[in-house]
Chains A and B, each alone.
Chain A
């Protein structure tokens, strides 16, 4: 196996035992990007290979003189392009931010830099994270490494594809309604949306501020825990980040879940789901039972309203957040305007793509005089009911299970003209954002050669239990499949 195919949990011990070093690791990943990314198209901006190797050499030099190595040191990371990086373009896959180069780093970027993780580049996403396929990017369509004719999911599609294709040791994404978990599921990797407030959002270009969280996309659960323990924690620059002690998530992984109280959520399975998804869930439940967990099937009646409530709250917050793109302080400005109003109207018309325009319109409508109470007000109350459903469920259970998505990765172009069908792809992942709870997707099978993801949801700030359950499942399930970069269009020729 090549170094870039190994998880950090394997690479780190090899570094400690001097079997490899950061330079060799980075060389392997750079070669993979060089060889694969012309087909996958995950990277929007690649850091110069010399620069990556220079950073790796510095890590190796430091490591030679130090007895204390840390896991993320020297590991190449792919950053979703809505995370601000000093001196490196940050476009949110939007034309309106085409030439934007932030003068500051997102807090998570600084924290990774403190660990000497090495940024390999910025990766593709749905424009402003609006979407479930990464197809709304203004720049390129990213392919799913398992089947190049299919989408990698979204909106963190570039992050998931980069990790699945062994082009980055790990990646960061952001998740507002499933944007980490759904692509992780589609690409056969692990993706975590932490509890709202656990990870600072400073420097994450805002989509829906009450729902957004940054989280890791990794090859396995140990790596996920290793990244989380670095990026989690209070940040004075984000007043919604919560001040609490961050445990060693990796240290708490023991794989023992005997007696764990597990509930399967009836509303998030079955009807309308791809058949194999339900089979994979049944298998996963069986495995949890064999590991000694107690299984129950429960109902959270208000989840039925999660998707419609989300498509009020998300766009409402997005339309407010995107008001800042006005052509004055940064980003695109129209060349053709005589007064302020015309400048705003044209700048935004030229800069935003179709899905951004749809959500701005939807959100503005839901917040406008006469409709505010019926839509936004009602959606916030539904949010309360959904939170209460989860509180009841977690009073008797430690974790909840569901599929991550109702289907496996769909074909490129399949849902592009049908936004409602695209939105329905997030039906299982949205509730966790509305409730602010943590949720992870781990691979739990394949259907017709495409990965299936299991979603595990946990209590607020109980990432320890969540990650340990995911770890126990992952170990027992023994996921070891890799994408083969199948290209159906090549066969037809």
Chain B
């Protein structure tokens, strides 16, 4: 659970780890039923309606302005997003 929470970038308290752990175990037990199906000759489907190679002209069209793109930023400065120090 802790490893998965780290992969998901989600801080969970010990109580939450317990609470969700129990529920997820129950859900996974139900889900495990799919392992009984023989799918050795079945191709996977990622997209239910066939769409292939959607191309468009490579043209410049108007998009959000810098101000609009930054309008919801928790912290912005000099036209960029501000994040905690990385290095």
Contacts and interface: CB of A to CB of B under 8 A. Distances in A.
Interface of A: 99-104, 195-197, 210, 236, 239-240, 242, 302, 304-305, 307-309, 311-312, 319, 323, 326-333, 337-346, 348-349, 352, 354, 357-358, 360-362, 364-365, 368, 374-375, 377-385, 387, 419-420, 423, 434-437, 460
B73 A305 contact: no
Interface string B1-41: 10111111111100010001001101110111111010100
Contacts of A308: 30-34
Contacts of A323: 9
B84 interface: yes
B66 to A, nearest CB: 11
B4 A364 contact: yes
A365 B24 contact: yes
B43 A419 contact: no
A380 B68 contact: no
Nearest to A327: B74
A239 B53 CA distance: 9
Given A339-B84, A340-B83, A345-B11, A357 B48 contact: no
A420 B72 contact: no
A348 B4 CA distance: 14
Contact of A361 (B5, B39, B42, B44): B5
A271 to B, nearest CB: 16
Contacts of B71: 101, 103
Contacts of B30: 307-308, 311, 420
18 contacts: A101-B71, A103-B72, A104-B64, A197-B51, A308-B30, A311-B27, A327-B74, A339-B84, A340-B83, A342-B84, A348-B11, A357-B12, A365-B4, A368-B7, A378-B37, A382-B39, A383-B44, A383-B45
Contacts of B51: 197, 239-240, 242
Contacts of A239: 51, 54, 56
Q: Is the interface of A mostly helix, strand, loop or mixed?
A: helix
A345 B86 contact: no
Interface centre among B4, B9, B23, B43 (most CB of A within 10 A): B9
A339 B83 CA distance: 8
A304 B34 CA distance: 9
A423 to B, nearest CB: 7
B75 A305 contact: no
Contact of B37 (A337, A339, A361, A382): A382
Given A308-B31, A308-B33, A357-B20, A332 B46 contact: no
Interface of B: 1, 3-12, 16, 20, 23-24, 26-28, 30-35, 37, 39, 42-49, 51, 54, 56, 64, 68-69, 71-75, 81, 83-86
A343 B83 contact: yes
A340 B11 contact: no
Contacts of A327: 74
Given A368-B7, A381-B44, A332 B37 contact: no
Contact of B49 (A242, A333, A361, A362): A242
Nearest to B7: A364
A242 B51 CA distance: 8
B43 A384 contact: yes
Contact of B48 (A100, A339, A379, A436): A436
Contact of B74 (A240, A311, A333): A333
B34 A319 contact: no
B48 A210 contact: yes
B34 A312 contact: yes
Nearest to A423: B27
Contacts of A423: 27
Contacts of A341: 9
B10 A345 contact: yes
B28 to A, nearest CB: 8
Contacts of A383: 44-45, 48
Nearest to B8: A364
Contacts of B37: 302, 305, 378, 381-382, 385
Nearest to A350: B11
Given A357-B10, A357-B16, A383-B45, 6 more contacts: A305-B33, A329-B81, A354-B20, A357-B20, A358-B24, A361-B8
B75 A100 contact: no
Contacts of B46: 210, 380
Contact of B83 (A242, A328, A332, A362): A328
A384 B9 contact: no
A344 B33 CA distance: 34
Nearest to A243: B54
B44 A380 contact: yes
Closest 3 CB pairs of A and B: A436-B48, A380-B44, A333-B74
A358 B22 CA distance: 11
Nearest to B9: A344
A70 to B, nearest CB: 28
B83 A436 contact: no
Nearest to A356: B10
B85 to A, nearest CB: 7
Nearest to A305: B34
